[in-house]
Amino acid sequence: MSVNRRKRYKTEESYQIGEKKWKSEWRKRTGSFLYEPKPWTFYEDQLVIAHEMPDRELSKLIHRSAQAIQVRRSRLKSGSVYSIQ
């Protein structure tokens, strides 16, 4: 982690506790590690490309992390991944 963030804490132990809490909150917000890996479907790709709702809401709908949705959208737009039809 960043040296500057480490300076905010008085002890190494309090730093470790704070970082663990921060990471836990981040995972809850983004949905990381909540869902099992699975192949993307055509329907999911259409929802990702349409971008009609925030990624957090879409994450709950299709059971994928917000980060996975952002990566998939980027790959679909760049043409490095083709949607299954």
- pLDDT (tens place) for every residue of the chain, 85 residues total: 456 777 788 888 888 888 888 888 877 776 667 788 899 999 999 999 999 999 999 999 999 988 899 999 999 999 888 766 5
Within a 10 A sphere around the Cβ of 69, how many other Cβ atoms?
A: 22
Q: Is the model's pTM score more than 0.75?
A: no
CA 55 – CA 20 distance, rounded (Å): 24
CA 34 – CA 51 distance, rounded (Å): 21
Say if CB 49 and CB 73 are below 8 A apart: yes
Name the DSSP class of 25: H
